[in-house]
Structure 1
Amino acid sequence: MRSASKLLIPVAAVAVLLAVSGCSEDEKPTAAKASPSELARYTAAPGSATPTDSPTTAASTKCVKTAGMSVKQLTGYLGELRSNSGAYRSRGLTLDSSGLNFTPEAVQRPCEAVKVKLAHYWVDVEKTRDETAVTPARYEYGYTLIDTASYKAGPKDGRVPDTAPPGGNGCQGTVSVTYLGEDIPPESLPNDLELTGTTAPVPVEVNGDGVLSAIYISPVDVESC
């Protein structure tokens, strides 16, 4: 399952081109629907505890009831939910190299666990032209859906188990997206990825009303492709 676009991309000091191959109407990926039994068990971080209200702090730590929220409402709420890290505008629900992490500040945290979707994609890279003295190497890339599942995060702080993104290899990187609502169509995935030469995840933009966060891990050795 692949989406289409072309872009000139720098690798070290040399520009390379990445292009996504086309995807026909009947080749759109259909992500697996997760059954209730497939929802991941939630593990609280060591030392964390369920927040409790005292008479003096009840007003400032009152939780938010998310049950019954629409996709739009829940997307807006989670997008504005701040982290307890103190970093400016950092989010309480994040996607990083360890997976989904839930660490909201005490104010306006949800009363119950929130259910989100997480999709992983391979970024398949292929060299289509070798570098010469006058032209850079050229590469193409396309997306292949690995899996899609639903998970519960919160209301306690902690990491959601089994949500770490798959790592890249020689000719494959990965894109992981956490979202709400309808599954992500291939054309919404990034068309401007860079071959960074590092396996550290970097945030990327994915179009979609219910998208909460997305990260990209670059292939580790595109020269071998």
Structure 2
Amino acid sequence: MHRARAPFVRPATLVAALLAVSGCSGGGEPAARVPTPTPSGLAHYTPATGSPAPATSPQPTAPKECVQTAGMSVEQLTGYLKELRSTSGNYQTKGLTLDSSGLNFTPEDIKRPCEAVSVKLAHYWVDLKKTHEANVVSGARYEYSYTLIGAASHTAGPQDGRVPDTAPPGASACRGTVSVAYLGQDLSLQALPYDLKLVDTTAPVPVKVNGDGVLSAIYVSPPHPDSC
């Protein structure tokens, strides 16, 4: 008597059948494959539209070269300010000067002071008196007498510009003015010039004033000195 044998199924055939069943969904559509992430996918990341870009730090700018004047003596500061040149480009023009508007500070960039400097400014009346009339041999001669109007300290720099309230007083009939910017001890009347050139203009002209601390000096003549 023979027993019926169950049919023998090869393992490869069984695996193929299982794969066929698992590859089918309930609706008969093939199941979507899940992609395997790769490290290269990170390189393709794009920020969302409108997101701000990372802020970049500004490049530091090199500071302008300046001169430390805080610890200078009167002699050192006087020498430094006398040699300080202007940005005007004219030969030997100074960075700190006196003109009709007063003290002006316009030094070149590379040697300007790092901080403001204190400068004294004195104004004087110059009274004229004719002592000799002009003739065919010589011109008229005058005597000068000085009177101090006032002296005060003013701060100049480190920015460019005119120092407020430093303009010389206006000249009048037979009376001019001399203004002196200086450092150190106050000036004596004997240090002021007694050889002024009289001109028919009130435009200031530079004059020489004796003194180690003198930085700049100007003279404003009376408008009509011949009538004095």
Q: Distance in 1 between matches of 2:204 and 2:138?
A: 29
What CA deviation, in whole Å up to 9, does each residue of 1:13-66 have, x standing for no partner? Answer: xxxxxxxxxxxxxxxxxxxxxxxxxxxxxxxxxxxxxxxxx85643xx221111
Q: Distance in 2 between matches of 1:88 and 1:132?
A: 40
What CA deviation, in whole Å up to 9, does each residue of 1:104-141 have, x standing for no partner? Answer: 11101111100000000111001234456777543211
Structure number with higher helix proportion: 2
Aligned with residue 193 of structure 2, among 190, 203, 221: 190
Q: Superposition pairs for residues 28-43 of structure 1, below 5 Å?
A: none
State the partner residue of 1:221. Answer: 224
Q: Superposition pairs for residues 1-225 of structure 1, below 5 Å?
A: 57-58=62-63, 61-131=64-134, 136-225=139-228
Q: Distance in 2 between matches of 1:194 and 1:131?
A: 15
Q: TM-score by structure 2 length?
A: 0.70
Structure 2: give runs of 5+ residues left out of the alignment. Answer: 1-58
Q: Distance in 2 between matches of 1:178 and 1:96?
A: 11
Give the aligned CA root-mean-square deviation in angstroms: 1.8
Q: Does 139-148 or 175-184 show the bigger shift?
A: 139-148
Structure number with higher strand proportion: 1
Equivalent residue letter for 2:78: T
Q: Distance in 1 between matches of 2:204 and 2:85?
A: 21
Equivalent residue letter for 1:161: P
Tell me if structure 1 keeps the 8 A contact 2:144–2:194: no
Q: In structure 2, the residue corresponding to 1:212 is in which secondary structure?
A: strand
Distance verdict in 2 for CA 1:224–1:107, change over 3 Å: same
Q: TM-score by structure 1 length?
A: 0.71
Question: Highest CA radius of gyration, 1 or 2?
Answer: 2
Q: In structure 2, the residue corresponding to 1:187 is in which secondary structure?
A: helix
Q: Distance in 1 between matches of 2:193 and 2:137?
A: 29
What CA deviation, in whole Å up to 9, does each residue of 1:51-90 have, x standing for no partner? Answer: xxx85643xx221111121110000111111111111211
Equivalent residue letter for 2:156: A
Identity %: 69
Q: Distance in 1 between matches of 2:86 and 2:182?
A: 18
Distance verdict in 2 for CA 1:207–1:132, change over 3 Å: closer
Q: In structure 1, the residue corresponding to 2:110 is in which secondary structure?
A: coil
Structure 1: give runs of 5+ residues left out of the alignment. Answer: 1-53
Across the two proteins, how many residue pairs are aligned to each other? 170
Distance verdict in 2 for CA 1:138–1:89, change over 3 Å: closer
Distance verdict in 2 for CA 1:69–1:129, change over 3 Å: same
Q: In structure 1, the residue corresponding to 2:111 is in which secondary structure?
A: coil
